[in-house]
A = this chain, B = another copy of it.
Amino acid sequence: MGVVVQKYGGTSVGSVERIKNVARRVVETRRQGNQVVVVVSAMSGETDRLITLANEINPRHNRREHDMLVSSGEQVSISLLAMAIEGLGEKAVSLLGSQVSIKTDSDHSRARITEIGGERIRRALADDYIVVVAGFQGVNEAGDITTLGRGGSDTSAVAVAAALPADVCEIYTDVDGIYTTDPNICDKARKLERISYEEMLELASLGAKVLQIRSVEFAKKYGIPLHVRSSFSDSQGTIVCREEECMEKAIVSGVAYSKSDAKITICGIPDRPGIAASIFTAIADQGIVVDMIIQNISDEGLTDLTFTVPKLDYDQALEALEKFNREVGARQIVGDRNIAKVSIVGIGMRTHANVASRMFQALARENINIMMISTSEIKVSCVIEEKYTELAVRVLHDEFDLAGEGTNEDD
């Protein structure tokens, strides 16, 4: 008996049959004695259909109108789901972002939630309704519809859960939980029972795409447990919760990888104060986000600077740098698209000193050269040649014994 928020993605409500299936799950949860709020995305394919129309009409359409357009998708899915729930004999009411009062800033198509009113939902719950809320959308101060960016429904769900507050926020998706690594490239990958918010944040930012990062930040901030599970099965998924509630406290919880970055090195630039700042300002001016940065020690007043940018922005970044370099005069600028980042994540690292060296040794045994290293309190990332990605993931998965149920203590 509690307040449960359930979030279903576009695939889960992608057809009449699937909507009915979601309705059955929702009603079941209700009949177990819970108050239920459901947050849904647009039916899969719908958002793409609308964007195609928009691009045919005006490829450079403005973002306010873009949000007005695509937010119609959730309006369809919430009303259909409410109808399906009523068809099973429970009361249901659908609510738009504006009706729930999901307030956001005005940064259309990637707006951030600033405030959320739980009042209307609480009232409907008290009147025995199952409440179906449109994910992905909010409303700004002017009363215009905004959207939260792809995957924003996760954040909507957690924000609603925080506003109520709910006892748990269940994120239904097409995978059945969070894995120690990608099961597609490592068949020993194991589903985790629990993982901490911090670890999940690292995994999400490292390329594990199960949850939108902001939704995890929200959940952490308000202490809402997330339950990531499959909408196509009844099995338990993975609980994302406070570190204290994670029994395993594994040194390493997961191995993540990403092939979406490229590497750029500026060789032989004058090593004087402000040079790095001006380089990264030139790149940031293009709206490009830099991930890892390494600066080598200075040699005869010259230094090398290496960093990674999204592959999509690689050409643009190089162009900006060439232009910038006419003023600075570095020796050369070299780039490499064929890289990957592999990372190990675990809260146990805080108390274990030799985790990074174990990682480097394991990679070295396979002759995988490490090009860049970046660490945080609970993460170590290495940039390697892209062709070694899968091998590296499997080696690290073995090294830290992630397939077993143990705590992967080193010997």
Residues of A within 8 A of B (CB): 16, 19-20, 50, 53-54, 56-58, 60-62, 64-66, 68-69, 71-73, 75-76, 78-80, 82-84, 86-87, 92-94, 96, 98-99, 143-145
**Residue ID in chain B nearest A49 by CB atoms:** B76
Residues of B within 8 A of A16 (CB): 53, 56-57
A143→B120 CA distance, assembly (Å): 11
List the B side residues contacting A60 at CB < 8 Å: 87
Nearest CB of B to A13, in Å: 11
> Given that A19-B57, A58-B84, A65-B94 are contacting pairs, would A143 and B79 also be in contact in the complex, using a CB cutoff of 8 Å?
no
Q: Are A75 and B68 in contact (CB under 8 A)?
A: yes
Q: Report Cα–Cα, A87/B54, bound state, in Å.
A: 11
B76 A72 Cβ-Cβ under 8 A: yes
**A–B Cβ pairs within 8 angstroms, 25 of them:** A16-B53, A16-B57, A19-B57, A20-B57, A50-B76, A53-B76, A54-B80, A57-B80, A57-B83, A57-B84, A61-B83, A61-B86, A61-B87, A64-B93, A65-B82, A65-B83, A65-B86, A65-B92, A68-B75, A68-B94, A69-B75, A69-B80, A72-B76, A75-B75, A98-B98
A29 to chain B minimum Cβ distance, whole angstroms, is 19
**Cα distance, A62 to B87, chains bound together (Å):** 10
Residue ID in chain B nearest A73 by CB atoms: B72
Who on chain B is nearest to A69 by CB?
Answer: B79
Could you tell me if A86 and B69 are in contact, using CB atoms closer than 8 angstroms?
A: no
Please name all residues of chain B whose beta carbon is closer than 8 Å to the beta carbon of A82 when the two chains form the complex.
65, 68
Complex Cα spacing A288 to B107, Å: 51
CA distance A53 to B16 in the complex (A): 7
A312 shortest CB reach to chain B, Å: 24
B contact residues around A86 at 8 Å (CB): 58, 61-62, 65
Other than A57-B80, A64-B93, A72-B76, give 14 A-B pairs with Cβ distance below 8 A.
A53-B80, A54-B80, A57-B83, A58-B83, A61-B87, A65-B79, A65-B86, A65-B92, A68-B75, A68-B96, A69-B80, A72-B75, A75-B75, A99-B143
Report chain B residues within 8 Å CB of A73.
72
A275 to B98, CA, bound (A): 53
A58, A71, A78: most-surrounded residue (chain B CB, <10 A): A58
Bound complex: CA of A145 vs CA of B97, how far in Å?
13
Residues of B close to A54: CB separation below 8 A: 79-80, 83
CA distance A118 to B153 in the complex (A): 34
Ranked nearest first, the 5 interchain pairs of A and B with the lowest CB-CB distance are A58-B87, A69-B79, A61-B83, A68-B79, A72-B75
Chain B residues with CB under 8 Å of A19's CB are: 57
User: How far is B57's CA from A73's CA once the two chains are assembled, in angstroms?
Assistant: 17
Closest CB of chain B to A89's CB: distance in Å?
Answer: 11
Hey, which chain B residues are within 8 Å of A66, CB to CB? 79
A135 to chain B, nearest CB (A): 15
CB distance from A388 to the nearest CB of B (A): 45
Interface centre among A16, A54, A57, A76 (most CB of B within 10 A): A57
Q: Please name all residues of chain B whose beta carbon is closer than 8 Å to the beta carbon of A56 when the two chains form the complex.
A: 16
Give the interface centre of A50, A61, A68 by most chain B CB atoms within 10 Å.
Answer: A68
> CB-nearest residue of chain B relative to A80?
B57
Determine which residue in A65, A69, A99 has the highest number of CB atoms from chain B within 10 A of its CB, and name it: A65
Measured between beta carbons, the chain B residues less than 8 angstroms from A62 are 83, 86
Within the assembled complex, what's the spacing in Å between the Cα atoms of A92 and B57? 14
**Nearest Cβ in chain B — how far from A341, in angstroms?**
38
